[in-house]
Structure 1
Amino acid sequence: MKKNLRFVFILLLHYVAAADPPASSPQLPPHFSPGEEQHHLHKKMLVAIVVATISLAALIFGFLCFWIYHTKCPTKSKTKKVQTPGPDAERGITLVPFLSRFSSIKIVGMKESVPIVDYKQIEKMTNNFQESNILGEGGFGCVYKARLDHNLDVAVKKLHCETQHAEREFENEVKLLSKIQHPNIISLLGCSVDGDTRFIVYELMQNGSLEALLHGPTHGSALTWHMRMKIALDTARGLEYLHEHCYPAVIHRDMKSSNILLDANFNAKLSDFGLAITDGSQSKKNIKLSGTLGYVAPEYLLDGKLSDKSDVYAFGVVLLELLLGRKPVEKLAPTQCQSIVTWAMPQLTDRAKLPNIVDPVIKDTMDHKHLYQVAAVAVLCVQPEPSYRPLITDVLHSLIPLVPIELGGTLRVSQVRQHTSLAVNSRH
């Protein structure tokens, strides 16, 4: 508006300048008397003033009409710019289902915008569910490695759905993942049905689960300090998307290291949404208690109270796993167990003791200031009182400065290396 008024003001200046009478009086015929000459000049000036006034009014009126028209009735090009894209536009890849691009894959229908693959194709892709193709096992079945044409590998989860509970988990996962697309959440590619058996096709995560890498045969030897911080950051980004950017918000309800999968570049993605719920879609008080021992928040375990802070608690346990290299629950005796939270809490807040309980694989490989920061975040996440726990967004922002720039954070690794080398030299 200010620019438009300024434009009118400039036009008026030019118009007035153009309408000014010339410096010298025009020559009149010699037979004009002085009185007649003055009367003639007054008449001409009056006519000029009237014409200028009418023209100026017409110009202002025309501009006002033009301004009102463009304010109330914007052009099509401007309307397109301010339109909010629909959910399909945001999802992108699901507009053209991934599996339908392969001519050898027979699609027999759609479910929640997800391709339903012919069961015979699933058998063929998994080599008739050969045991050597098993990637992992869950509560209701196994996950198999499957090969499409063009030598592209995917993962197929086989679910035995003889019970209503298993069927609900299948339906819930397909429904939720069909609407979600995020770099740190597993991509759903298709599904299939055969009698009481259900199949879900996902993108393949070449490095398996975080649990297998941390607590399997390698005991976390493949995961450096910076890679562990990257995995924590990726996981926080996935959770933040569920809590803050999904409407209604999604509570994962089964956050644990076995449901954090890693691709070929160790990018972490959340998986297994069978137990997830949308906040407000149903009464959370009537939801059956579910989850994994060691990750379940105390208020949910004792009182059945569920919120996004329940996911934050589970995230804190995963952060402790990354930090300490320990399982969430460890056996002390055949009938006695101890949680990582109970064991670690007194030592996490003691700067003298903390370096001694860190996973030996990464011990003395990080700046101790960063170690104290991560421990402080973990302590806040596993607070017994939900209101004392931070939002996952706050956790995310606290982790970003601890991850190298090339891994998705803001930390300059060269400075850390220089600091570490100076510290080593000072000891000598």
Structure 2
Amino acid sequence: MGSCLSTSTPPNEPNAPIKVEEEGVKVFTVDELKKATKDFGNKMEIGESLIGYIDPKTLSPAKEGVGMAVTVKRIYLTNKQSLQDWLVDQEFLRLNPHPSLVKLFGYGTDLGMLFIVSEYFPNGSLDRHICRESRPKSLPWETRLKISIGAAQCLAFLHSTKKVGLYGTYLTASKIMLGLEFNAKVSYLGLNILPPHDEEMHFFQAARPLTDLYEMAETDFFSHVTEPKQFHYAPPEYILSGMSHMAGDVYSFGVILLEMLTGFGKTRIIKAKRGIRNDKENIVEMIDPDLESNSYPLEAGRQMCKLIRKCLKEDPEKRPSMQQVLDKLNAIAQI
């Protein structure tokens, strides 16, 4: 039996025991996953993540307090090919590792579902730490910049190696994970098995101009689309065609930078984006007051505002590359 992540056909017996090799990517049986997560926490919804525990050396199930904490997520496979596509993509990532990329420990399949076992992050995802009204505490300027640079490093690396947009939909703050010291890592797990873009949206695209589509995207019109609460991250070209490329990742990252700089939630971010697009809003005037009270380099703030405006350009060709975004963030950190 094989053990490492392979681009060959999926195993015929997904629940068969598997030997762990040096690469450290394991095919888990369902029984192993149940043991690691206390029988899936007695309740595991599709798309939900649970905490499990495994032995860091053998990757076998372990008890809480003894083993290493991991995240276990369950996702529907859209078809047989989707697993194969996912394996190919993960093999590429295994051969092209990056320190700011969420680590995959293993996976398992059962009855048309994929279980992904990956790193656990005690501080959760970035979206939990952004909005003024709901965040546990306000992060200082240095931490926000550290998170931005860490995520940009990974995105720039993946763009340089894959030469394509990274997500089947678009980048969101929930895909940026934070460790104990707020070191950021990008979650790039399961992107090729996301549901296809909803065909209903295309019906309206053909009949409406871009300005109307913007307005619809900035309401609950697309409530039927996957992750409707995060649709404000979607670049214009995704709204138009259901497709997003590298420039789309830059746009979504620009939205994330805007959230981190302002502390705005979804509703205010939507209004801010509209104002920026129409040249009616000054980003400097939106900066999170908690940052001002804790002081930060004013010139750094102004440069961040300029970078965000460039990332949010409607025309994808006018946006900077992720490498250019990273270079600018590093320059801002020196101010």
In the TM superposition, what are the counterparts of 1:213-362 in structure 2 within 5 Å?
A: 213-215=129-131, 218-219=134-135, 221-246=137-162, 248-252=163-167, 253-275=169-191, 292-304=230-242, 306-327=244-265, 329-330=266-267, 338-344=270-276, 350=282, 354=284, 356-362=285-291
Q: Retained in 1: the 8 A contact 2:37–2:51?
A: yes
Aligned residue among 318, 321, 328 for 1:391: 321
In the TM superposition, residue 153 of structure 1 has moved relative to its aligned partner by 0.8
Equivalent in the alignment of 1:211: 127
What is the deviation of 1:326? 1.3
The 8 Å contact of residues 73 and 115 in structure 2, kept in 1 or not, is answered as: yes
Q: Select the structure of larger CA radius of gyration.
A: 1
Q: CA deviation at 1:106?
A: 5.1
Find the counterpart in structure 2 of residue 90 from structure 1: none
Q: Report the alpha carbon displacement of residue 270 of structure 1 after superposing the two structures with TM.
A: 1.2
* SS of alignment partner, residue 192 of structure 1: strand
Instruction: Give the CA deviation at 1:402.
Output: 2.9
In the alignment, is the contact (CA less than 8 A) between 1:260 and 1:271 conserved in 2? yes
Q: CA deviation at 1:262?
A: 0.7
| CA deviations over 1:39-97 (Å, ceiling 9, x no partner) | xxxxxxxxxxxxxxxxxxxxxxxxxxxxxxxxxxxxxxxxxxxxxxxxxxxxxx989xx
Q: Is 2:304 the counterpart of 1:366?
A: no
Alpha-carbon distance, 1:304 to partner: 4.8
What is the match of residue 175 of structure 1? 88
Shift of 1:300: 2.6
Distance of aligned partners of 1:344 and 1:171 in 2 relative to their CA distance in 1, 3 Å threshold = farther
The letter of the residue matching 1:299 is E
After superposition, give the CA deviation of every residue in 1:315-358 in whole Å (9 maximum; x if it has no partner): 1000001011113x318xxxxx94541145567974xx72x421
| Alignment partners' CA distance in 1, 2:136 and 2:292 | 12
CA–CA distance in structure 1, aligned partners of residues 243 and 86 of structure 2:
22
Measured in 1, the distance between the counterparts of 2:83 and 2:183 equals 25
- Residue type at the aligned position of 1:313: Y
Counterparts in 2 of 1:184 and 1:109: CA distance versus 1, 3 Å: closer
Q: Give the % identical residues.
A: 26
TM alignment of 1:53-132, pairs within 5 A? 107=18, 114-130=25-41
Are the equivalent residues in 1 in contact too, given 2:49–2:74 (CA < 8 A)?
yes
Question: Hey, what's the Cα distance between the residues in 1 that align with 2:264 and 2:26?
Answer: 40
| Gaps in structure 1 of 5+ consecutive residues | 1-92, 96-104, 278-287, 332-336, 404-410, 417-428
1:171 and 1:301 map into 2 onto residues whose CA distance is 28
Give the 4+ runs in structure 1 shifted more than 6 A. 288-291, 346-349
| Structure possessing the higher relative contact order (Cα contacts under 8 Å, 6 or more residues apart) | 2
Residue type at the aligned position of 2:102: I
Distance in 1 between the 2:102 and 2:332 partners? Answer: 24
Per the TM alignment, residue 242 of structure 1 is displaced from its structure 2 partner at its CA by 1.2
Residue 196 of structure 1, aligned match among 112, 115, 118: 112
Confirm or deny: 8 A CA contact 2:276 2:309 kept in the other structure: no
**How has the CA–CA distance of structure 1 residues 301 and 169 changed in structure 2, closer, same or farther, with 3 Å as cutoff?**
farther
Task: Report the 3-state secondary structure (helix = DSSP H, G, I; strand = E; otherwise coil) of the residue aligned with 2:233.
Answer: coil
Secondary structure class of the residue paired with 2:261: helix
The DSSP-based 3-state class of the residue aligned with 1:127 is coil
User: What's the offset of the Cα at 1:241?
Assistant: 0.9
Q: Which residue of 1 aligns with 2:69?
A: 153
Give the root-mean-square deviation of aligned CA atoms: 3.5
Structure 1 CA distance for aligned equivalents of residues 132 and 47 of structure 2? 20
Tell me which amino acid in the other structure corresponds to 1:321: E
CA distance in 2, matches of 1:385, 1:293: 19
Distance in 2 (CA, whole Å) between partners of 1:315 and 1:323 is 12
Deviation at 1:397, TM superposition (A): 0.5
Change over 3 Å in CA distance of 1:182–1:368 after alignment to 2: same
Deviates more, 1:176-185 or 1:187-196: 176-185
CA displacement at 1:234 relative to structure 2:
1.0
2:47 is equivalent to residue 141 of structure 1: yes
TM-score normalised to the size of structure 2?
Answer: 0.71
Give the structure with the larger helix fraction. Answer: 1
SS of alignment partner, residue 290 of structure 2? coil
Change (3 A) 1:339 1:295: farther
2-structure distance, mates of 1:324, 1:131: 39
**1: CA distance between counterparts of 2:24 and 2:84?**
13
